[in-house]
């Protein structure tokens, strides 16, 4: 199933998206917490605004340096264990939303990633049980301010500022994630082209490692790292990130000044 | 006012605590979101279980190295700006709750801190306006696994594991925080004894700096750093942290193995 969160002008609704990504069959509530039941109403994807398919109640746990080729391009060693950092729910935005670059951040990069959506409260999950706590998968752009990442030491600002974590376009619940293309492009020019098969730590290991430290709640999101090919993006440019079998997520980048002036 | 969250066996309730810290007058709902109205019911503090006075909806933003003497004891430079990291809401526990040390963490330290509770949604708050977005203050123990802090690079596990952020005993809404004693003791032996007057960045600057990067939501918590005197604590020991004018917060530390066996 593909589950989206959307608005047609009023409160957010949830729906099932067809295989072509064109039609939405509305469901009665958030499928993370309620049984899936159709309301009977249908929409065209083109007629609604897709929202981030999930707003984490607690946290995004992101993994750094999880593709060898990306760790190499950053001049970093491969970690011996998954390297985790937090992103708050206030950083999440949705498909088409502008990524707003604050005036004090100057070196912005995109990072295409497979995102894992947790389906139930869990702790100390064994890798072989990971699938049972996963609700589904979506696409993330783990937008990063490289200058703040270098200067701050801890990555809270570099990775966790408002709008720096676009998620979408929907959650795919049935997916073999062992070998999926992960790509990005800027203004239509290809930038990243990796595969989840090259992850240093796979999804099951990441779920196990994160849940050994933190209770995971329904709606928590795990970001699984980005392949090589990251690079600068500047205000006015558009970045599209995609994961094979899920879909793509496109966001324009704007400066905070332009956003304040309504030009975003 | 002193506002507590407590249980007498059923769902969490909120109440006003008297100056002696002995009596609770129950109020109708969470004062972060509703007007304060007494229900007429009263309780003795001794007869109820105090809970963490707030569970952040979004995040704890914590500040590292914010007392010169503590930065020195850690062999660290003073940061030029407040150094921020995130702690998730799943790390928060309350007065009297056991702090559970996972089997893979071996070098645990307490850190007594003044905690700031945000009262309304805000972004880009000027230092001179900080007081208007602050709901009140409580006490925090920013429990840290030093071995993970050194080894992981990012401090997600070191600072953000389940139960590593005791908060309490209640929120004091009226307080001049410019010069308050911040203390800790382990099994009754004094360890830290600092004053908020020695913070490198004061509360108003921290609110401004955090809100320049992140939208703050009602119930978000800012931890303001810890003075010198941190040190090891081991399973079976009890740590009490206190901030003058608020109160004290006491937690026993237990190993995950003991907690699993019900000995916590």
Q: Which of A88, A212, A216 sits opposite B214 (nearest CB)?
A: A88
Who contacts B187 (Cβ-Cβ below 8 Å, separation ≥6)? Answer: B237, B238
Q: How far apart are CA B94 and CA A258, in angstroms?
A: 43
What's the start-to-end Cα distance of chain B, in Å? 33
Which spans in B77-228 are helix H?
A: 146-152, 156-160, 203-213
- Measured between CA atoms, the residue of chain A closest to residue B209 is A157
Interface ipTM > 0.90: yes
Chain A interface, best mutation among B213, B215, B221, by max A CB count within 10 A = B213
Is B154 in Cβ contact with A83 (below 8 Å)? yes
Chain A interface, best mutation among B82, B84, B88, B147, by max A CB count within 10 A = B88
Residues in A touching B142 (Cβ below 8 Å)? none
Q: Are the beta carbons of A92 and B166 closer than 8 angstroms?
A: no
Q: Are the beta carbons of B86 and B62 closer than 8 angstroms?
A: yes
Q: Which of B89, B91, B154 sits opposite A155 (nearest CB)?
A: B154
Is A102 in Cβ contact with B162 (below 8 Å)? no
Give exposure, B16-29, as e/b (b: 16+ Cβ within 10 Å).
bbeeeeeebebbee
> Distance (Å) from the C-alpha of residue B40 to the closest C-alpha of chain A?
33
Q: Which of B81, B154, B162 sits opposite A214 (nearest CB)?
A: B162
Number of Cβ pairs < 8 A linking chain A and chain B: 94
pLDDT of B78 reads: 85
Residues in A touching B161 (Cβ below 8 Å)? 213-214
Is A88 in Cβ contact with B86 (below 8 Å)? yes
Q: Which helix (H) or strand (E) holds B69?
A: helix B68-73
Q: Are the beta carbons of B8 and B39 closer than 8 angstroms?
A: no
Cα–Cα distances in Å, from B233 out to A156, B107, B230, B238?
A: 27, 8, 9, 8
A35, with CB counted inside 10 A (0-12, 13-18, 19+), is exposed
Residues in A touching B101 (Cβ below 8 Å)? none
User: What does CATH list as the number for A2-51?
Assistant: 2.30.30.370
**Which residues of B lie inside 8 Å of A (Cβ-Cβ)?**
58-59, 61, 64, 79, 81, 83-91, 102, 104, 123, 152-157, 160-162, 212-217
The two tokens of residue A154 are 């801890």
pLDDT of A71 reads: 83
> Distance (Å) from the C-alpha of residue B218 to the closest C-alpha of chain A?
12
The two tokens of residue A39 are 């309301």
Is B84 in Cβ contact with A157 (below 8 Å)? yes
Cα–Cα distances in Å, from A151 out to A104, A106, B82, B85?
A: 12, 12, 12, 13
Cis previous bond, A163, omega within 30: no
Rg (CA), chain B: 17
The tally of CA atoms less than 13 A away on the side-chain side of residue A138 is 32
Q: How far apart are CA B103 and CA A66, in angstroms?
A: 25
Chain B interface, best mutation among A57, A157, A158, A218, by max B CB count within 10 A = A157
Instruction: Determine the 3-state secondary structure of B8 from DSSP.
Output: coil
Q: Is the pLDDT of residue B63 over 90?
A: yes
Is B152 in Cβ contact with A214 (below 8 Å)? no
Binning pLDDT at 50, 70 and 90, where does residue B263 land?
low
What's the start-to-end Cα distance of chain A, in Å? 33
Tell me the domain boundaries of chain B.
Answer: 2-51, 60-260
DSSP track, B157-177: HHHHSTT-EEEEEEEESS---
For residues B80-88, average pLDDT? 96
> Distance (Å) from the C-alpha of residue B255 to the closest C-alpha of chain A?
14
Q: How far apart are CA B114 and CA B192, in angstroms?
A: 13
Is B90 in Cβ contact with A86 (below 8 Å)? no
Q: Which of B61, B83, B90 sits opposite A214 (nearest CB)?
A: B90
Lowest mean pLDDT among A64-78, B7-21, B93-107: A64-78
Q: How far apart are CA B165 and CA B148, in angstroms?
A: 16
Q: Which residues in chain A land under pLDDT 70?
A: 262-264
Give domain A60-260's CATH superfamily: Fumarylacetoacetase-like, C-terminal domain (3.90.850.10)
pLDDT tens-digit series, residues B108-120: 999 999 999 999 9
For residues B59-81, average pLDDT? 91
Q: Is the pLDDT of residue B262 over 80?
A: no
Residues in B touching A217 (Cβ below 8 Å)? 90
Who contacts B173 (Cβ-Cβ below 8 Å, separation ≥6)? Answer: B1, B2, B3, B135, B136, B137
Question: How high does pLDDT run on average in chain B?
Answer: 96
For residues B57-80, average pLDDT? 91
Lowest mean pLDDT among A68-72, B23-27, B97-101, B164-168: A68-72
pLDDT tens-digit series, residues B205-225: 999 999 999 999 999 999 999
Beta bridge partners of A25: A16, A42
- Measured between CA atoms, the residue of chain A closest to residue B77 is A153
pLDDT of B264 reads: 47
Q: Is the pLDDT of residue B124 over 60?
A: yes
Q: How far apart are CA B63 and CA B61, in angstroms?
A: 7
pLDDT of A263 reads: 57
Residues in B touching A125 (Cβ below 8 Å)? none
Q: How far apart are CA A143 and CA A226, in angstroms?
A: 11
């Amino acid at each position: 199933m593909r589950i989206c969160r959307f608005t047609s002008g009023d409160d957010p609704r949830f729906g099932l998206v067809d295989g072509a990504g064109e039609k939405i069959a509305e469901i009665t509530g958030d499928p993370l917490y309620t049984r899936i039941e159709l309301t009977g109403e249908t929409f065209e994807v083109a007629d609604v605004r897709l929202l981030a398919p999930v707003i984490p109640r607690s946290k995004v746990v992101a993994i750094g340096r999880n593709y060898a080729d990306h760790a190499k391009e950053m001049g970093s060693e491969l970690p011996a264990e998954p390297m985790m950092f937090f992103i708050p729910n206030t950083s999440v935005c949705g498909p088409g939303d502008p990524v707003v670059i604050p005036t004090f951040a100057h070196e912005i990069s995109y990072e295409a990633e497979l995102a894992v959506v947790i389906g139930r409260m869990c702790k100390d999950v064994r890798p072989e049980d990971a699938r049972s706590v996963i609700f589904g998968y979506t696409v993330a752009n783990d937008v990063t301010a490289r200058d703040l990442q270098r200067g701050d030491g801890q990555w809270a600002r570099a990775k966790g500022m408002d709008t720096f974590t676009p998620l979408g376009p929907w959650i795919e619940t049935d997916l073999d994630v062992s070998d999926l293309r992960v790509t990005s492009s800027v203004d239509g020019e290809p930038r990243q082209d990796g595969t989840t098969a090259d992850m240093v730590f796979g999804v099951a290991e990441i779920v196990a490692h994160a849940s050994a430290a933190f209770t995971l709640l329904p709606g928590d999101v795990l970001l699984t790292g980005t392949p090589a090919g990251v690079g600068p993006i500047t205000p006015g440019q558009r970045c599209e990130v995609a994961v094979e079998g899920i879909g793509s997520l496109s966001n324009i980048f704007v400066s905070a000044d332009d956003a304040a002036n309504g030009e975003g």
